[in-house]
Amino acid sequence: MRYEIPDPLHPTLLPALIAAEDSLARLDERAGRHAVSEGFRERGQFFDAAAALWVAGELVHVEDLVLHDAHMDARAPSHELTIAHAVLRARRRLDLAEPDWALTSGGLNVLRGEGGAVTEQNLREEARRDDAGSDAEDDPDENPLAAEFAELDAAIARSQRLLDTHADGTDEMDPALSPAAKARSEPMGQLGLLFEEEWDEEQRLDAWRAVLAAADQLPASLGAAILFDAWERIEPLRRQHWLGSLLVGVYLRVRGKVSSHVLAFNTGLKTIRHERRRSKDRLTRLLAFLEAMAVTADLGMKELDRLSLAKTQMEMRIRDRRSSSNLPGLIDLVLSRPIVSTALIARHVGVTQRSALNLVRELGVREMTGRGRYRGWGVL
């Protein structure tokens, strides 16, 4: 399972390495001080999440992801849309966390769903202990919902005990049960329906993290490409294989190459042909990943230009508006989402959907869906 580090001074890699380094540096400089940097980062979260599913061979529409994130689905969410939303939430968590948090063993455990329930349980128990003294002295009549809250706490405690029993295996099962009956009583994760028993995630994650030391000795973009190639080869997490592309942006942020945001690496990776991304030749794969970084940076620069131009045009339309106008809030929303609907505008700005349509008409935002129902507007 050991990953062999390629020759970093291979002549074929140098042109792609120089192009990726320069493009990423220019993007970071502009994105860090641009007037629309906040909207650029937020829009990039949606585009990268949808592109992550595209790279995996699944199609998720960005407008569906925006509506699903706002709990305004136009239809029942699909399995692919749910995964894309998980990617979106992971990106937001990485954006808010310390740069090197995700590369630690603790950060990786949280991202792959290990230890989160224990942490929440501990926090809940600490809150109960803190409130125990004051609640005992309070008059029950002052809290008419005390009985209902007590029933909820009891139900949560019973559920947690049941989950702990299943998580511990079959220790508390009837010893008279046959092995087949005990196997049927195991949770789905132990049966391998959610987690593969023979797929040692801990060992594979350790093997991938062992590549970090070698990657740190190389230029940032080449180190990120090697880490991503190692993730593709080792496959630490089959359930969350998309996490590897997010860790590319995290690593570039740790190295200071793209410190302004978590790079939307999937937006450039989707432009690379599958034959190059999955080639048997490692040099071809590394060239493809370096090219994907350069393409991502170029797409980011164009996105900044588009958002800057759109912001200028929309602000010119509201120059003589009163200070209490809702149009500035709509501008911020349009710049932070790939597409907006009337319901989304109404919730964000605090107006009715009829008024939202009037605001869109006054602002001159382009209609992007081309249909009568479930219409959406945005910046192209």
Mean pLDDT is lowest, of 35-44, 68-77, 293-302, for 68-77
User: With pLDDT > 70 as the criterion, what percentage of the chain qualifies?
Assistant: 77
What does the pLDDT look like over 204-240, one tens digit per residue? 888 899 999 999 999 999 999 999 999 999 988 888 8
pLDDT of 82 above 80: yes
Give CATH for domain 318-378.
1.10.10
What residue spans define the domains of the chain? 13-114+194-305, 318-378
CATH number for domain 13-114+194-305, candidates 1.10.1760, 2.60.40, 1.20.1260, 1.10.3290: 1.10.3290
pLDDT of 180 above 60: no
Which pLDDT does position 130 carry in this prediction? 43
Q: How confident is the model at residue 49 (pLDDT cuts 50, 70, 90)?
A: very high
Which pLDDT does position 265 carry in this prediction? 96
Mean pLDDT is lowest, of 100-104, 147-151, 267-271, 313-317, for 147-151
Pair 277, 59: CB distance under 8 Å: no
User: What string of DSSP letters covers 119-170?
Assistant: HHHHHHHHHHHHHHHHHHHS-GGG-TTHHHHHHHHHHHHHHHHHHHHHHT-S
Which pLDDT does position 162 carry in this prediction? 66
Nearest to 159 by CA among 190, 208, 124: 124
Which pLDDT does position 143 carry in this prediction? 54
Mean pLDDT of the region 325-341: 86
pLDDT of 190 above 50: no
